[in-house]
A and B are shown apart, each in its own frame.
Chain A
Amino acid sequence: MQGVSAPREPTQPVISTTSTILNMREKEKYIEDFDFPFCDESSKYEKVAKIGQGTFGEVFKARQRNSNKKFVAMKKVLMDNEKEGFPITALREIKILQLLKHENVVNLIEICRTKATLHNKYRSTFYLVFDFCEHDLAGLLSNVNVKFSLGEIKKVMQQLLNGLYYIHSNKILHRDMKAANVLITKNGILKLADFGLARAFSLAKSGQVNKYTNRVVTLWYRPPELLLGDRNYGPPVDMWGAGCIMAEMWTRSPIMQGPTEQQQLILISQLCGSCTPDVWPGVENLDLYNKMELPKGQKRKVKERLKPYVKDPYGCDLLDKLLQLDPAKRYDADTALNHDFFWTDPMPCDLANMLAQHTQSMFEYLAPPRRPGHLRHHHHVAGAQAKPAQPVQDSGYQDRVF
């Protein structure tokens, strides 16, 4: 863009900035002093500890300074390297969180700001402020002293599916399901968190397909359709993640820890069988079907390989239904909630008692690395213990529908 600060010809009547509109200093003073009625200063909270790294910024535990001393989680909106101002991903997350109000979805209390001063070039930093949850599921699972009974596992999964049912009914895809994004309060209430990659979806209209980015979902929880390049996906992507998380309730670590997309597909095939048009009609039309190396002749061994961990036959059966290769056959949240797993003894039971034995917060971010011991009997992939590759945070502009 040229000519922005081109010198003006002296003959041009230039707006006298000193008399008509505020001059720069006055404006800075104004911004500094303006008491935004709807946006409190973040100093009303006192940071206690860093508890995580969200998709677009750090997360802190903080305590309200006023009398009630309530704990909150504050997620910083990362604005560095943002050429286009307030990130569109953060705007999406805010819109989605303002829309979603449900017991099993994390609650956004408010958005706070730091004071604009000369120090920050008159640009505030923003924080999303959430109700504080004591634990995340990854943190709990990595602690060997935390033991879930079958009824408690059912309660976790039931709440998780309730949350998914709610967000999917509201036409929202989470797109980053993983144990670390499942929060649990000390009272045993589960909350889906981190909507930094979430988006609204619509079912493809006739003659028109959606083109969403497939560079979402942490690799270990990424469903086969995304790995094969599908851009017209929907709620089943979250259901695959729910299946991975459910298995993890017993295995205690992510069941498929591929270091690369190719390896992840191989691990999936070793568990769920080969991706063929037989079991998955239409798979041959996906962009990468012919470009990725797909193991041939693999048999489906979901129940067989999970049985050693998941003794409960209903649990095994539900896992089988969630870890379906074909997204069209994968159970949706509603069907899953009606599965016998949730309606046979032992019935889902409250987590509060079990959690009461643990007085310390457990977050993946703070926990020591989890044991690599995922599923037995499969090829160990080098580097599998490494942290899973994070979903690629698209700049927002790429994530549009083209």
Chain B
Amino acid sequence: MPYWYYDKKDLQNTPSFRDAISTDTENRYRKEGARFIIDTGSKMDLGYNTVATGVVYFHRFYMFHSFRTFPRYITACCCLFLAGKVEETPKKCKDIIKVAKSLLTEQKFASFGDDPKEEVMTLERILLQTIKFDLQVEHPYGYLLKYAKCLKGDKAKLQKMVQMAWTFVNDSLCTTLCLQWEPEVIAVALMFLAGKLSKFEVLDWNGRNPKHNAWWDMFVEDITMELLEDICHQVLDLYSPQPQSSGGDSPPAPPVSKQPKNDKKPPSITPPTSVSPIAVVTSKPVLTPMKNGADLKIEPPKIEPIRYTYPAYPGLAAPYPPPVYSAPPPALPPPPRLALGGPPPPALVYTEPPPAPPPRFPPVNVPPPNYFPPPLPGRGPPPPGPPPRPYYPPP
């Protein structure tokens, strides 16, 4: 079973890095690829789950291959194509390519080759093998909604906070967080961040018990403040000026003669917007909150990169310094990875909150796992184990 989480050291020593692509450049490629999947998916009305699944495939793919071997935009198309099928929202390959073409400069689209569809088909097999056919991917969105339902406080403020957290989750796709932490942990951290920024202080929550210091203790055990802040910084870094890209739009050849830069983009800025993911809970999920972040890209041609400053909050001074780790990361692989120091982290414990989980999988009339009637003496088939979570999105 491959382990899809990596520590920071592994994230530095990637195939691209070993292929003479700097970490900064690789991170930019990852960001651009992820953003491109988000844009393409939104334009095709794909839901946030499909888009996020495609992005996770993309990040995993480049833990095994270099951006020099596989240009990012065609890989991104391939990831979205596969994610569409896996999430039961299939799109025709040629339609994805058509949209991709409309979003890319001719120069970037040139990397798709003479027969883009054939390229994607070949790439799909490589992608499937690379990701070990681990098709089903979980995302922070569902956890976000589940956690939000437990928090008490002013409804409007809570809603605003969740929608901000939702946007952070969208944007977190442009980082490598999905290669570092389980979706539960990311959801906690980004809701924590949104709470700070929207001044929504969680004082009480359903299912609180005396052992809880903070609401998230109820969902994930032993999250340290250092970890939360590290995750928040990784997302916030997206909004600060990017280091000048050290590579061009395509991977540089090892002895780099500076490539001419083309349509350099200022950092894409996706401040939390007013679309409410909460609405998804109560009404039909017609909106794809994903879209909003994507639509808000600001691309002025020749201005200084815009700096979006969030209100500072204690513990996160601006400009955000690089995260400081109080202790070396734990040895790998300690599944599941949690605290950034101290004794080996205990296993994740997910406590079920009293209210119903979010509607990602609608509650249905299944017999509870252990519902075989208590068998009469000597009779009664062995009850099958508790059913794993359902894994399809509701049709």
Taking the nearest CB of chain B, how far is it from the CB of A159, in angstroms? Answer: 9
Q: A31 to B69: give the CA distance in the assembly, Å.
A: 10
Cβ of B88 under 8 Å from chain A: yes
Interface of B, secondary structure class, is loop
Interface contact B129-A91, CB-CB below 8 Å: no
Q: Which of A22, A91, A202, A210 contacts B135 (CB 8 A)?
A: A91
Cβ of B296 under 8 Å from chain A: no
Interface contact B132-A38, CB-CB below 8 Å: yes
Interface contact B251-A36, CB-CB below 8 Å: no
Cβ of B305 under 8 Å from chain A: no
Interface of A, secondary structure class, is loop
Interface contact B86-A123, CB-CB below 8 Å: no
Interface contact B372-A169, CB-CB below 8 Å: no
Decide yes or no: A85 and B252 within 8 Å by CB, A14-B107, A166-B387, A200-B391 being known contacts: no
Q: Which of B124, B381, B395 contacts A337 (CB 8 A)?
A: B381
Closest residue of A by beta carbon distance from B364:
A203
Chain B interface: which of A4-12, A56-64, A304-312, A370-378?
Answer: A4-12
Taking the nearest CB of chain A, how far is it from the CB of B73, in angstroms? Answer: 11
Interface residue ranges of B346-395 to A (CB < 8 Å): 361-362, 364-367, 369, 371-373, 376, 379, 381, 384-385, 387-388, 390-392, 394-395
Interface residue ranges of B249-267 to A (CB < 8 Å): 250-253, 259-260
Q: Chain A residues near B94: list those with CB within 8 A.
A: 1
Q: Which of B125, B133, B361 contacts A123 (CB 8 A)?
A: B125
Cβ of A171 under 8 Å from chain B: yes
Cβ of A13 under 8 Å from chain B: yes
Cβ of B92 under 8 Å from chain A: yes
Interface contact B85-A88, CB-CB below 8 Å: yes
Interface contact A400-B90, CB-CB below 8 Å: yes
Interface contact B106-A5, CB-CB below 8 Å: no
Cβ of B97 under 8 Å from chain A: yes
Q: A116 to B130: give the CA distance in the assembly, Å.
A: 14
Contact flags B196-213 to A (C-beta < 8 A → 1, else 0): 000000000000000000
Cβ of B122 under 8 Å from chain A: yes
Interface contact A124-B97, CB-CB below 8 Å: no
Interface contact A20-B251, CB-CB below 8 Å: yes
Chain B contributes a number of interface residues (CB within 8 A of A) equal to 71
Chain B interface: which of A92-100, A138-146, A218-226, A278-286?
Answer: A92-100
Interface contact A102-B385, CB-CB below 8 Å: yes
Interface residue ranges of B82-126 to A (CB < 8 Å): 82, 85-86, 88, 90, 92-94, 97-98, 101, 106-107, 110-112, 114-117, 120-122, 124-126
Closest residue of B by beta carbon distance from A344:
B379
Interface contact B385-A210, CB-CB below 8 Å: no
Closest residue of B by beta carbon distance from A12:
B106
Contact flags B263-293 to A (C-beta < 8 A → 1, else 0): 0000000000000000000000000000000
Q: A165 to B2: give the CA distance in the assembly, Å.
A: 30
Cβ of A67 under 8 Å from chain B: no
Taking the nearest CB of chain A, how far is it from the CB of B39, in angstroms? Answer: 19
Q: Chain A residues near B122: list those with CB within 8 A.
A: 31, 121-123
Q: Which of A3, A165, A202 contacts B362 (CB 8 A)?
A: A202
Q: Chain B residues near A123: list those with CB within 8 A.
A: 121-122, 125
Cβ of A162 under 8 Å from chain B: yes
Cβ of B48 under 8 Å from chain A: no
Taking the nearest CB of chain A, how far is it from the CB of B311, in angstroms? Answer: 41
Q: Chain A residues near B65: list those with CB within 8 A.
A: 34
Interface contact B367-A169, CB-CB below 8 Å: yes
Q: A158 to B380: give the CA distance in the assembly, Å.
A: 11
Interface contact B253-A22, CB-CB below 8 Å: no
Q: A113 to B135: give the CA distance in the assembly, Å.
A: 17
Q: Which of A8, A102, A210 contacts B395 (CB 8 A)?
A: A210
Q: Which of A88, A200, A205 contacts B390 (CB 8 A)?
A: A200
Cβ of B57 under 8 Å from chain A: no
Cβ of A86 under 8 Å from chain B: yes
Residue ranges of A at the interface with B (Cβ–Cβ < 8 Å)? 1, 3-5, 8, 12-15, 19-22, 27, 30-31, 34, 36-39, 83-86, 88, 91, 94-95, 98-99, 101-102, 111, 113, 116, 121-124, 126, 158, 162, 165-166, 169-171, 199-203, 205, 210, 212, 334, 337-338, 342-343, 396-397, 400-401
Residue ranges of B at the interface with A (Cβ–Cβ < 8 Å)? 2, 64-65, 68-69, 71, 81-82, 85-86, 88, 90, 92-94, 97-98, 101, 106-107, 110-112, 114-117, 120-122, 124-126, 128-136, 248, 250-253, 259-260, 361-362, 364-367, 369, 371-373, 376, 379, 381, 384-385, 387-388, 390-392, 394-395
Some 14 contacts from A to B, beta carbons below 8 A apart, are A4-B101, A20-B250, A21-B68, A21-B251, A22-B69, A36-B64, A85-B93, A99-B136, A126-B125, A126-B128, A169-B369, A169-B384, A210-B395, A396-B90
Q: A5-B114, A20-B252, A86-B85 are in contact. List 13 more A-B contacts (CB 8 A).
A: A1-B117, A15-B110, A31-B122, A39-B132, A98-B135, A116-B125, A124-B129, A126-B128, A158-B381, A200-B391, A201-B395, A203-B364, A338-B373
Query: Nearest 10 CB-CB pairs, A to B?
Result: A38-B132, A200-B392, A401-B395, A39-B129, A166-B384, A36-B129, A169-B387, A5-B114, A170-B387, A88-B85
